[in-house]
Amino acid sequence: RMTVRQALQALIDEGWLYTVPGKGTFVSESPRIEQNLQYLSGWTEEISAQGMVPSTRVISLTILPADKVVAGRLGVAIGTRVFCLMRLRLADNFPVSLEKTHLCCDRFPGLDKLIDTNPSLYYLLREKYQVFPVRANQFIEAGEADGVTASMLEIPVGKAVLTSERITYDANGRQIEYTIGATRAGFLRYKTELSANSATVREFIGKN
């Protein structure tokens, strides 16, 4: 038999409620977002297509030497100067995702002067630098919010989030960006289309 506490915890786990230590439990007034994993699109395009108002807050933009991980993801030498762009993504003014994006300074000169006035990074890459994102490798897994993520997403430290890692490429197969992010769990639904392995289909047809 489920107790009231268990029922509340179930609603919290599903994203309908959230708790703030020392303050209480509150109803989550958030949009429900569906992301189609078959297509590569930017935040502005994706949220607008669902009838919501997208917005982005630039939290920080620094220039750092690429460490081993970032250099490997971007296909550059360790120590290469890269922009490290941290942004908070919102839908209908609700904080949904915190992202940290890395791009090579030499490839995108002046990006730090332009990013504040351009809500869409992909639009900026296309229009200013003639760089067109055409595909990406993305990995998604469960995680927990650290202090910075919790503060930005307005959730308790340790609350479940969806963590992602994405490398985006241009038409020549060259890496454009490396992004890691954390998204509020319970508010994002992923959609994709699955098909049978072609070899399996041919084998089945051959037997019939």
Query: Which tens digits make up the pLDDT trace of 9-57?
Result: 777 765 667 666 677 776 665 556 777 666 677 777 777 877 888 888 9
pLDDT digits (tens, 9 = 90+) for 111-158: 998 987 766 888 899 999 999 999 999 999 999 999 999 999 988 899
Question: How many angstroms separate the CA atoms of 67 and 9, rounded?
Answer: 40
CA 62, CA 48: separation in Å to the nearest integer? 28
The number of folded domains in the chain is 2
Q: Do 64 and 103 lie in a common domain? A: yes
Using the CB atoms, write b or e for 128-158: b if 16+ within 10 Å.
Answer: ebebebeeeeeebeebebeeebbebbebeee
Specify whether 13 is located in the same domain as 66.
no
**Alpha-carbon gap, residue 98 to 149, rounded angstroms:** 7
Virtual CA dihedral for 191, 195, 197, 198, nearest 10 degrees? -140
Question: Does 153 fall in a domain?
Answer: yes
Same domain, 10 and 94: no
Q: Are residues 25 and 90 in the same domain?
A: no
Q: Do both 23 and 39 map to the same domain? A: no
Identify whether residues 78 and 107 lie together within a single domain. Answer: yes
Q: Considering the domain boundaries, does residue 123 fall inside one?
A: yes
The amino acid occupying position 144 is: E
Residues 38 and 73 in one domain: yes
| Sequence-distant (≥ 6) Cβ neighbours of residue 8 within 8 angstroms | 17, 25
Amino acid, res. 184: R
Residue 163 covered by a domain: yes
- CATH (domain of 118): 3.40.1410.10
The answer on 109 and 137 residing in a single domain is yes
Residues 9 and 66 in one domain: no
- Residues 60 and 76 grouped into a single domain: yes
Q: Are residues 22 and 43 in the same domain?
A: no
Distances (CA, A) of 176 to 92, 156, 160, 199: 28, 33, 29, 33
Rounded Cα distance between 42 and 32, Å, is: 17
Of the pLDDT bands very low, low, confident and very high (cuts 50, 70, 90), residue 198 is low
Please tell me whether residues 4 and 98 are part of one structural domain. Answer: no
| Domain encompassing residue 108 | 31-194
| Alpha-carbon distances, residue 14 vs 26, 126, 186 (angstroms) | 13, 38, 5
